[in-house]
Chain A
Amino acid sequence: MTADLVEVRDLAITFPGGTGAVDGVRAVDGLSFTLAAGGALGIVGESGSGKSTVAAALLDLHRGTGARVDGTVRVDGTDVLAAPDHALRALRGGTAAMIFQDPLSSLDPYYAIGDQIAEVHRVHRPGTSRRAARARAVAALDRVGIPDAARRARSRPHEFSGGMRQRALIAMALACEPRLLIADEPTTALDVTVQAQILDLLHTLRAETGMGLLLVTHDLGVVAGSVDEVLVMRGGRAVERGPVGQVLGAPREPYTKDLLAAVPRIETARGGAAALPAPRAALHAADRPAAAPGPAADASAAAPPLLEAAGLRREFGRRGRRTTAVADVSLTVRAGETLGLVGESGSGKTTVGRMLVRLLDPTAGTLHYEGRDIGGLGERALRPLRSDLQMVFQDPVSSLNPRRTIGESVADPLRAAGGLDDAEVRRRARDLLERVGLDPAWYHRYPHEFSGGQRQRVGIARALAPSPRLLVCDEPVSALDVTTQAQVMALLGELRRDLGLSLVFIAHDLAVVRAVSDRVAVMRAGRIVEEGPVDAVYDNPQHPYTQGLLTAVPVLDPQAAADRRARRAAA
């Protein structure tokens, strides 16, 4: 067993500290692993676990950045960390090629894609003529499934779609027939159907070329169908390593178990969110019975409609260059129910959400709140109603004013409403912080002192401050790690139950939507293609688009993942 393709021993990587007194951030701390030739290893972990730092170390991309790298890294026999520059250059792209998370920014915007691939090819095959290198690039593009490769090779990256770009990057990686492909979050920026295509492509290429694969991802579902072995990382160390079926199916370590338990399952019938293990941070959830989210499910059909949208349409841009974000959307939210709104990027779901709370004015269509037409109300007439319709935003960074304390952010709606003295406002804001599982003593702290999950809780507290009846949650958990995601989802479910809220839950993640929704609407290109009770839609989708979407979702069971791959190949 001397012929390991990758051998990492006692790897430790420290980044120089910022302004603080600490001598730096230890991103990777004593990590060892091997990867056999032709094997596939997945490195999974939450943000900050050091997984991408490890991937970069395999090509010593840290060289010259000031980071301190200790230990040994061998790739195909080369001692990477000790290799002289020319040997390292030969290794990079020649022996081991890497693909990155964001395929748009990872390609040079100024050159044609074919030229960029040809350039890399010529670096590693110095004798090649320009013409031959170009032909090679076209062949590589053709191989990764770019239609009309000879013509598309002349396009620049911005003329490609996200999935095509990632294919192009993979083509670049293939140009020199490497023995190892390092993929750093290769599908994180992509929609779920495109993600499935890229993962399938990697699978096929691996089978054809016999190259090794090191797949770095935060998504356990992505590794399930793509690798043989999994390494779980946390805080720069290895937590658990083993065959993919064993780690995902019967994990030994508590951390891996927690991680797996937090992943929402597409195949589980609804009630999943409440069935999650009581999250540690959501203190209040612990002493409540972990039952399905209340009677709303049964009552929903009978409950009166709270918000009704009919024929909503929204266009952007001025004449000549108008684009239609939402073409025609009609939906009803009943009191006390959760409506899931799911769709891929660009489907218009966020625009719909913003129109529902009247942050955006509809170009056409009507909006009725409790039977009253609010679609055409002016800002002033709308203000008394504002408190009833609130929103939780996606980005925990930009949704809080960085210059104000979290307590003041929560207190803001109370102050704007007027009628309360300062002490009462503060008292209520503290109560709200406590309600969402934050320490009320943190009132005077600033957003940057908190993690993403905590900031999202602040955002929820602020949305609750005016005592709303409807909460539109726009991708509230998509920027969060999976364990934090589960906690925030549990909190939302609990608040809905306790406060009798109606929720519109917008997300691209089908499993997340299933876990929280009573009914679900599937959006595509500004229209709702399918709508119905959540289990009915997920278990028996009628529209081909929904069907495709559902088969593309990665699942945790490697066997099931293989089945789905076969089904996709057949389709």
Chain B
Amino acid sequence: MSDPQESGAWRRLRARPSAVAAAAVLAVLALLALGAPLLSALEGQDPTTYHDQLIDSARGGVPTGSLGGISADHWLGVEPGTGRDLFSRLLYGAQVSLLVALGATVVQVLIGVAVGLAAGFGNRLLDGVLSRFTDVLVALPMLVFAVALTAVVPEEFPRPLLLIVVIGLLNWGGVSRIVRAQTLSLKKLDHVAAARLGGSGPWRVARRELLPALAAPVITYAAILVPSNIVVEASLSFLGIGVKPPTSSWGQMLSTATTWFRADPAYVLLPAACLFVTVLAFTVLGDAVRGALDPRERSRLRVGTRTAGPRPARKQAAAAAPDTTKGAAR
């Protein structure tokens, strides 16, 4: 309960202005997404109705009026070509983005922790099989595979759920590697040996000595996964393989925008800004979480002989880095 390390982490997290600001942005964003139906109703619009009268068919479908057709009825203007209300489309887009990203993160963490624990804890054979499988998975270029997978799944399958499952199933390798490595190094610690000598069986050792210590690295990694999942969802939608058309999504809007960026720049900038701010806020928060949970971030300025404890191997920095490239969408 009053775990000394976790409460210290909270304090350190709250002491970072950037973390607080990012959390505030995300809170607002979550409220906007949750309140999408309400806010759209307030504006008097919905995300799917076409407004032909608002677009200039003579100029190929560009919204009439300045700045992408901003007006009292349409607070952020309308979509070129269709005249659908941008404000409500952006709000509903936020829903998709957050739902898919967070859902996928949950899937990734659950699978990753389970597989990592089993590999780290199990015998050599189990570890070998699971590690090899993880290697294969990490080797899969995720975006390509996600694109390919969405192609073979029937149309009837609900798309947001499909996205959660696909992104979740394809990118848990990093979590499981970290959990496995942590478990292996924790297993070597003397207090785990002491627990064994004290008569604890494997489950008791796992529950009492290992799992609590895994929380910090898993949370840290999960915090980095969320923004990467948002980008992956947007990328899939950008490639036209995300949610299906009537539903709106930022990536899909940006995909449409590739044909409109000369005529209607506002249509590029709005979803781009939404996506950018969301990913940035999650990234900043993730960085802050890592800093707060990683004791190594604390000062190493002292010049003295006895800086207790071994320095973590450099290899870890290199080994962890490629995992974060997995989510990289190019």
Are A and B close enough to touch in the complex, i.e. CB under 8 Å? yes
Query: Which residues from chain A sit less than 8 Å from chain B, CB to CB?
Result: 15-16, 18, 27, 47, 52-53, 56, 61-62, 65-67, 100-101, 105, 184-185, 188, 216, 354, 357, 359, 379, 383, 386-387, 389-391, 393-395, 397-404, 409, 412-413, 416-417, 446, 448, 459, 462-463, 465-466
Please give the distance in Å from B168's CB to the nearest CB on chain A.
Answer: 29
Point out the residue from A56, A185, A391 that lies within 8 Å of B197, measured CB to CB.
Answer: A391
For A62, A389, A402, which residue has the most chain B Cβ atoms within 10 angstroms?
A: A402
25 pairs, A vs B, C-beta closer than 8 Å: A16-B299, A16-B301, A18-B298, A52-B303, A62-B303, A100-B305, A184-B305, A188-B305, A354-B193, A359-B196, A386-B199, A389-B197, A390-B197, A391-B193, A391-B197, A393-B193, A395-B190, A398-B189, A403-B212, A412-B195, A416-B195, A416-B201, A417-B199, A462-B194, A462-B198
Q: Which of B300-322 contact A (CB under 8 A)?
A: 301-306, 308-309, 311
Please give the distance in Å from B217's CB to the nearest CB on chain A.
Answer: 14
Known: A386-B199, A402-B5. A56 touches B194 (CB 8 A): no
Contact, CB under 8 Å: B3 / A466: no
Q: Once bound together, how far apart are the Cα atoms of A386 and B191, in whole Å? A: 15
Contact, CB under 8 Å: B193 / A448: no
B200 at the interface (CB under 8 A from A): yes
Known: A47-B306, A403-B5, A403-B213. A393 touches B301 (CB 8 A): no
Contact, CB under 8 Å: A397 / B303: no
A56: B residues at CB distance < 8 A: 303-304
A391: B residues at CB distance < 8 A: 193-194, 197
Q: Once bound together, how far apart are the Cα atoms of A399 and B304, in whole Å? A: 24
B194: A residues at CB distance < 8 A: 391, 393, 399, 409, 459, 462-463
Please give the distance in Å from B312's CB to the nearest CB on chain A.
Answer: 13
Please give the distance in Å from B202's CB to the nearest CB on chain A.
Answer: 8
Closest partner residue, chain B, to A51 (CB atom): B305
Known: A397-B308, A446-B4. A386 touches B303 (CB 8 A): no
A357: B residues at CB distance < 8 A: 197
B299: A residues at CB distance < 8 A: 16, 18
Contact, CB under 8 Å: B303 / A403: no
Please give the distance in Å from B330's CB to the nearest CB on chain A.
Answer: 32
Q: Once bound together, how far apart are the Cα atoms of A431 and B298, in whole Å? A: 38
B43: A residues at CB distance < 8 A: none
Q: Once bound together, how far apart are the Cα atoms of A53 and B307, in whole Å? A: 12
Which 4 A-B pairs rank lowest in CB-CB distance, beginning with the nearest? A413-B198, A399-B190, A393-B190, A416-B199
A402: B residues at CB distance < 8 A: 4-5
Q: Which of B87-131 contact A (CB under 8 A)?
A: none
Query: CB-defined interface of B51-94 with A at 8 Å, one 1/0 digit per residue?
Result: 00000000000000000000000000000000000000000000
Q: Which of B155-213 contact A (CB under 8 A)?
A: 189-191, 193-201, 204, 208-209, 212-213
Q: Once bound together, how far apart are the Cα atoms of A357 and B194, in whole Å? A: 11
Please give the distance in Å from B304's CB to the nearest CB on chain A.
Answer: 5
B208: A residues at CB distance < 8 A: 401, 404, 412
Please give the distance in Å from A110's CB to the nearest CB on chain B.
Answer: 11
What 8 additional pairs, Cβ within 8 angstroms, besides A27-B304, A386-B197? Answer: A359-B196, A398-B190, A402-B5, A412-B195, A413-B198, A416-B199, A417-B199, A462-B198
Q: Once bound together, how far apart are the Cα atoms of A376 and B215, in whole Å? A: 36
Please give the distance in Å from A363's CB to the nearest CB on chain B.
Answer: 15
B200: A residues at CB distance < 8 A: 412-413, 416
Number of B residues with CB within 8 Å of any CB on chain A: 31
Q: Once bound together, how far apart are the Cα atoms of A47 and B209, in whole Å? A: 30
Q: Once bound together, how far apart are the Cα atoms of A61 and B305, in whole Å? A: 13
Contact, CB under 8 Å: B304 / A398: no
Known: A386-B199, A446-B4. A401 touches B301 (CB 8 A): no
Known: A397-B308, A402-B5. A65 touches B198 (CB 8 A): no
Q: Once bound together, how far apart are the Cα atoms of A390 and B304, in whole Å? A: 35
B304: A residues at CB distance < 8 A: 27, 52-53, 56
A62: B residues at CB distance < 8 A: 303
B298: A residues at CB distance < 8 A: 18
Closest partner residue, chain A, to B124 (CB atom): A318
A413: B residues at CB distance < 8 A: 197-200
Please give the distance in Å from A56's CB to the nearest CB on chain B.
Answer: 4
Point out the residue from B3, B190, B193, B198 that lies within 8 Å of A412, measured CB to CB.
Answer: B198
Q: Once bound together, how far apart are the Cα atoms of A400 and B208, in whole Å? A: 12
Contact, CB under 8 Å: B199 / A466: yes
Closest partner residue, chain A, to B12 (CB atom): A19
Please give the distance in Å from A254's CB to the nearest CB on chain B.
Answer: 25
Point out the residue from A65, A390, A446 that lies within 8 Å of B301, measured CB to CB.
Answer: A65
Please give the distance in Å from A61's CB to the nearest CB on chain B.
Answer: 5
Closest partner residue, chain B, to A394 (CB atom): B190
Contact, CB under 8 Å: B303 / A65: yes
Contact, CB under 8 Å: B309 / A397: yes
Closest partner residue, chain A, to B302 (CB atom): A15
Q: Once bound together, how far apart are the Cα atoms of A389 and B197, in whole Å? A: 8
Contact, CB under 8 Å: B191 / A359: no
For B3, B299, B303, which residue has the most chain A Cβ atoms within 10 angstroms?
A: B303
Contact, CB under 8 Å: B190 / A387: no
B308: A residues at CB distance < 8 A: 397
Contact, CB under 8 Å: B301 / A67: yes
A383: B residues at CB distance < 8 A: 199, 201
B311: A residues at CB distance < 8 A: 105
Point out the residue from A53, A359, A394, A401 that lies within 8 Å of B209, measured CB to CB.
Answer: A401
Closest partner residue, chain A, to B311 (CB atom): A105
Closest partner residue, chain B, to A399 (CB atom): B190
For B190, B204, B301, which residue has the most chain A Cβ atoms within 10 angstroms?
A: B190
Q: Once bound together, how far apart are the Cα atoms of A47 and B307, in whole Å? A: 11
Contact, CB under 8 Å: B301 / A66: yes
Q: Once bound together, how far apart are the Cα atoms of A397 and B306, in whole Å? A: 13
Contact, CB under 8 Å: A403 / B193: no
Q: Once bound together, how far apart are the Cα atoms of A160 and B165, in whole Å? A: 52
A401: B residues at CB distance < 8 A: 191, 195, 208-209
Q: Which of B3-61 contact A (CB under 8 A)?
A: 3-5
Q: Once bound together, how far apart are the Cα atoms of A53 and B204, in whole Å? A: 44
Q: Once bound together, how far apart are the Cα atoms of A435 and B208, in whole Å? A: 25
Q: Once bound together, how far apart are the Cα atoms of A401 and B3, in whole Å? A: 11
A359: B residues at CB distance < 8 A: 193, 196-197
Please give the distance in Å from B316's CB to the nearest CB on chain A.
Answer: 16
Q: Once bound together, how far apart are the Cα atoms of A568 and B7, in whole Å? A: 56
Closest partner residue, chain A, to B188 (CB atom): A398
A101: B residues at CB distance < 8 A: 305
Closest partner residue, chain B, to A185 (CB atom): B305
B3: A residues at CB distance < 8 A: 403
Please give the distance in Å from A181's CB to the nearest CB on chain B.
Answer: 17
Q: Once bound together, how far apart are the Cα atoms of A399 and B190, in whole Å? A: 4
Q: Once bound together, how far apart are the Cα atoms of A448 and B197, in whole Å? A: 23
Closest partner residue, chain A, to B213 (CB atom): A403
Q: Once bound together, how far apart are the Cα atoms of A416 and B196, in whole Å? A: 10
B204: A residues at CB distance < 8 A: 416
Please give the distance in Å from B94's CB to the nearest CB on chain A.
Answer: 37
Please give the distance in Å from A80's CB to the nearest CB on chain B.
Answer: 14
Please give the distance in Å from A123's CB to the nearest CB on chain B.
Answer: 21
For B196, B200, B305, B308, which residue has the most chain A Cβ atoms within 10 angstroms?
A: B305
Closest partner residue, chain B, to A392 (CB atom): B194
Please give the distance in Å from B292's CB to the nearest CB on chain A.
Answer: 12
A379: B residues at CB distance < 8 A: 201
A15: B residues at CB distance < 8 A: 301-302
Q: Once bound together, how far apart are the Cα atoms of A65 and B303, in whole Å? A: 8
Q: Once bound together, how far apart are the Cα atoms of A248 and B167, in whole Å? A: 70
Q: Once bound together, how far apart are the Cα atoms of A398 and B189, in whole Å? A: 6
Known: A416-B199, A446-B4, A465-B198. A399 touches B305 (CB 8 A): no
Please give the distance in Å from A81's CB to the nearest CB on chain B.
Answer: 15
A188: B residues at CB distance < 8 A: 305
Q: Once bound together, how far apart are the Cα atoms of A389 and B198, in whole Å? A: 9
A100: B residues at CB distance < 8 A: 305
Contact, CB under 8 Å: B191 / A399: yes
Please give the distance in Å from A98's CB to the nearest CB on chain B.
Answer: 11
